[in-house]
Structure 1
């Protein structure tokens, strides 16, 4: 593929043939000003000739659920995610791809390559990510809501194992890799208190009045952060909710290592409890979705979330203990981080998706006994 052809790509749509042409050209060097980072070998016919090839290896189709960027599936084996806005390097996904490939973590879509553009100044921007396609994959906001509606919680232990395995792999990340300078790093309490203040400012109407009435209780939930000093900080996922866990033909897979889009200048090295708290609160959000969209009784949904949360945490702790790393989880951080996460969900709702407010507000109301069904 020529440089001019690559320049034309932009964010190609499925069916145009440009994504397939891009994959076909990867057997040759990428022309300047583009560059390619390779991770795992791609399957035939896109890479080395081994194993069966799909009947229509170059056929393209889109993925409807991908809204922020644009993903194209080629031959039902490869996914190319074209970034709507090129992202400057260093980029967390590329570091995660390289490290998880090196450690052998297999519970993710196989990372194959990343396409970048290099400016005359040497600055590099990420244009596209190439990964394996996971057959019969379903988004977490689909399969997990099904589980909540049916009252099934057996999946929770599997997710706990998956989260622990991910953190054990990420815990071996080089500790010097792109942490924030101390001058820009906020304490856990400062970060959480800031999120609460912003949520109070941005949430209006009846929900805003409820938040202000419960502000003292919310601050009390965050207060333990002032006295907690934790030494176990690892490279975390950063945006670890059920929507980032696909259920597919062969199990579950973690995706999207881009970090949390709602938190600016977040240090990639944080307590593992940060990821765990986001994952557990997302189970409670799933329960709220089941109530609103599936007609699940609020009391049944709350009970399901509590059982699923307990099962996930038990499996997570057990897996860390088996690996000799129980120190990775500081349980004292979970409660405060979960409250902070709900504040961040309210901030996200106010800024990007107003209709989502019902989920974090439902969780917060449920957590206070006088409002608990």
Structure 2
């Protein structure tokens, strides 16, 4: 079946949101799998190795559920029909479905976690700190892009890491470390799954299970609702509108400082030396040079950006490097009745795993959130880019909430993260350059948002 299934997967995978090789030419694809459950439906797990025409190789994890006949209610999850031979020797077809969207195929993951099973190359590691629900199906979370998650009732959320890389995923590593601190701003880790490397290398993290955060509200939705409230009030300032978000932003700053402090307490830290500052500046400059052909509009900010990055190389700042979130924005936080919860310590999924596990400055996370406030404030200007009143109010909202976040962080940590820091300015600018490339390729109408921010960030350097 392997060749036939590989051909089916070759047709199906490029259309999945989590597949990172869209638009790239495939040279070869192979798969190897094993059965995780032989009950009805049969559940198999496959490592799919994609070799691209340029020689690059990526490995993806694809769980499949199998049916003897087509299931109409699963039509949107159909992967394909695979030829097979029945026990009577007759030719027939088995129907493969995306097992993460087949509710009947979802219970075995938690059954094996509870039992701390080893199934084929897959090893299940329960954390042993809280009960893991059994006997309930998981419902797929439809908003994700890089991974696939299942919510089991109101108790647990299961994340499958689609792209496999050797080593412990930062989301598991940091989740395990922070669980021991009992930090109130994280969702406790309940367990994780590893899969052996077929070539004898370090195992890869296949999945993790966390406590599900009940009754929570997404930070991005809350922030953008506040912006809409402000736009609807033509004669009120940001601090006069009922939906003012500044108090939440201040509490979010304090929560971020708390998480950073605990990360520094339980994981490695290291003072940043001059070489680190120089290497950081070089990497930012390299990303800028690579972005210029994609976004020609960056040319007008080129001198200012180079000056911002050069200031990092010469910065006298005292920085202690530590583990950080690495991809911090309003979509990675939830507000509950008791405060903010930070999610997804996986880091930027596009970066290699080894890079995501490196020590960094907490200012990278601060910069990510400050950029997110700018996006929340200005995203509605895309519809009316020439409205000066809206532009003024967007700037007012962004400045108010950026300041509140920094005040909350400072009050909780004793460190002002948003003072006159060349490193913070450079982190923000570097993130905005990344956003420019993303918007140019995916949402050209949104390119105005990061370009506007670059005008602000480079103003003091030119």
Please indicate the TM-score interval, normalised by the length of the shorter structure.
0.7 to 0.9
Matched, 1:235 2:323: yes
Do 1:173 and 1:234's aligned partners in 2 also have CA atoms closer than 8 Å? no
Higher strand share: 2
- Is 1:289–2:379 an aligned residue pair? yes
Match of 2:349 among 258, 261, 267: 261
Q: Which structure has the higher relative contact order (CA within 8 Å, separation 6+)?
A: 1
Q: Distance in 1 between matches of 2:407 and 2:459?
A: 24
SS of equivalent residue, structure 1 residue 80: strand
Write the distance in 2 (CA, Å) between the matches of 1:361 and 1:158: 29
> Is the Cα–Cα contact under 8 Å of residues 116 and 125 in structure 2 kept in the other structure?
no
Matched, 1:197 2:284: no
Change (3 A) 1:140 1:87: farther
SS at match of 1:23: helix
Task: Note the alpha carbon deviations across 1:224-257, whole angstroms, 9 max, x for none.
Answer: 1021253411111111111111234543211111
Q: Relative to structure 2, which stretch is displaced further, 277-286 or 244-253?
A: 244-253
Q: 1 CA distance for matches of 2:163 and 2:301?
A: 39
In the alignment, structure 1 residue 278 sits paired with structure 2 residue 278: no
Of 125, 143, 151 in structure 1, the residue corresponding to residue 204 of structure 2 is 125
| Deviation readout 1:280-321 (Å, 9 max, x if unpaired) | 111111112133369981110111100111111111112112
**Residue aligned with 2:214, SS:** coil
Contact 2:216 2:335 in 1 (8 A): yes
1:97-176 counterparts in 2 under 5 A?
97-119=175-197, 121-150=200-229, 151=238, 152=244, 153-175=246-268
Contact 1:273 1:329 in 2 (8 A): no
Report Cα offsets for 1:154-179 as digits up to 9, x if no partner.
211111101100110111243289xx
What corresponds to 2:114 in structure 1?
27
| Contact 1:88–1:126, Cα closer than 8 Å, also in 2 | yes
Match of 1:224 in 2: 311
| Partner SS state of residue 216, structure 2 | coil
Q: Is the 8 A contact 1:238 1:260 kept in 2?
A: yes
Find 1:96's aligned residue among 162, 174, 177.
Answer: 174
Cα distance change, pair 87–184 in 1 and its aligned pair in 2 (3 A): farther
1:51 is matched with none
Report what 1:54 is aligned to: none
Q: Secondary structure at the match of 1:269?
A: coil
Given the two structures, how large is their TM-score scaled by the length of structure 1?
0.81
User: Residues 334-373 of structure 1: matches in 2 within 5 Å?
Assistant: 334-350=424-440, 356-365=446-455
Higher helix share: 1
Measured against aligned partners, the alpha-carbon deviations of 1:323-355 in whole angstroms (never above 9, x if no partner) come to xx7799983421222111111222333566656
Q: 2:116–2:126: 8 Å Cα contact kept in structure 1? A: no
How far, CA to CA, are the matches of 1:99 and 1:124 in structure 2? 19
Tell me what 1:188 maps to. Answer: 280
Structure with larger Rg: 2
Q: Could you say what secondary structure the match of 1:130 adopts?
A: strand
Give the alignment's TM-score, normalised by structure 2. 0.67
**Residues 307-316 or 13-22, more deviating:** 13-22
Distance in 2 between residues matched to 1:293 and 1:279, nearest whole Å: 23
TM-fit CA distance, 1:186:
6.4
Match of 1:308 in 2: 401
Residue matched to 1:16: 103
